[in-house]
Structure 1
Amino acid sequence: MAELSMEKDAVNTEDDHLNNSLGDPGLISPDKEDISRILTVPFKGRIRGGMRPGKKIIIMGIVDPEPDSFDINLTCSCSKEKDEEELRDVALKLSARFAERQFLRNARVSGKWSEEEASIAYFPFIQDQPFRIEIHCEHQRFRIFVDGHQLFDFYHKVKSLMTIDTIRIDGSLQITKLG
């Protein structure tokens, strides 16, 4: 499972290398007094060692009571200007849009967005309810599960998986656990 280190945008980043307080190597669960500061949205964290086949990221959270949308982005350090967030390649962008009841996915490589993929069997998110998203990295694709059900696959547009080293989460949700 992917190891994440947490850093809040424009905030002290002393907690870049959190240890797991529960002994579960897959989930990072900071102490209760730290959780509101570390897992606040917008969230930015490092994926230690980048992605590779067999690694997975788990995002647990609660949808806001009156949600609009939320985004989860896996970004790369493969861009020349890796300090400039808007210039980084986006290996996977997941966008939950509540008004349209869509869970969209996309990627940006060398400044160009791929064609957005939108078809899903059902919209899995409910306002004010918890959810669990799993992003499994395989050789040719990401496999996305929500609440234990496989929802779709997204084939890699970024070929160097190890450069996928950052996760960003923003929008109408609260994050409860990451791993």
Structure 2
Amino acid sequence: MRPGKKVVVVGIGNVKVTVHSCGRFYVALTCGCGTSREPPPDVALELCVRFRDRQILRRACMSGSWGDADRAIPFFPFIRDQPFKIEIHCEQSRFRVFVDGQQLFDFYHRLTSLGDIDTLWIKGSINLTKLA
């Protein structure tokens, strides 16, 4: 990853609560692939979309240590069983995140080695239709 690049995730949020998903999904930009249950020790940005309490948590992990989660959002853009498009734009000092074309928040880089970000890690209650 580097400034000027973006990642696009298109899908449908499925809010069925299962043993593993709890009605949420995760999208993360990571350094390496981790496992099906856990991301690797270095995560530049993890988004946790929680339908039940209408939150989008954002955090980063450095050497296996998670930082504080940011929670404030101006609105919750996801609608149950409706398609959405998340765009994560990488800028020099931050990721700028859009949902369905509307800017939702900025996440300032905590992991500064952007060149090491090589994996898009996704899990949870989501049906993917496109990745770019």
Common fold by TM > 0.5? yes
Where is the helix percentage greater, Structure 1 or Structure 2?
Answer: 1
Larger Rg belongs to: 1
Of all paired residues, the percent bearing the same amino acid is: 54
Partner residue of 2:11 out of 42, 61, 64: 61
- Residue type matched to 1:110 in 2? S
1:167 aligns with 2:98: no
Partner residue of 1:115 out of 68, 87, 90: 68
Higher mean C-alpha displacement, 60-69 vs 98-107: 60-69
Check the 8 A contact 1:66/1:127 in 2, yes or no: no
- 1:120-144 Cα offsets, whole Å, 9 max, x none, are 0111111110000000000000000
1:74 aligns with 2:24: no
Q: Structure 2 length as normaliser, TM-score?
A: 0.88
1:144 aligns with 2:94: no
Query: How does 1:94-113 map onto structure 2 within 5 Å?
Result: 94-113=47-66
- Residue type matched to 1:75 in 2? T
SS of alignment partner, residue 16 of structure 2? coil
User: Aligned partners of 2:4 and 2:112: how far apart in 1?
Assistant: 16
- Tell me the CA shift for residue 87 of structure 1: 4.7
What residue number does 1:48 align with?
none
Check the 8 A contact 2:15/2:51 in 1, yes or no: no
SS of alignment partner, residue 115 of structure 2? helix
SS of alignment partner, residue 162 of structure 1? helix
Partner residue of 1:156 out of 96, 109, 116: 109
User: Aligned partners of 1:65 and 1:94: how far apart in 2?
Assistant: 16
1:90 aligns with 2:43: yes
- Residue type matched to 1:63 in 2? G
Where is the strand percentage greater, Structure 1 or Structure 2?
Answer: 2
Higher mean C-alpha displacement, 64-73 vs 153-162: 64-73
- Tell me the CA shift for residue 88 of structure 1: 2.4
Structure of higher RCO (CA pairs closer than 8 Å, 6+ residues apart): 2
User: Aligned partners of 1:157 and 1:64: how far apart in 2?
Assistant: 30
> Which segments of structure 1 move beyond 6 Å, counting only runs of 4 or more?
82-85
Structure 1 residues 86 and 138: CA distance shift in structure 2, 3 A: closer
Structure 1 residues 111 and 104: CA distance shift in structure 2, 3 A: same
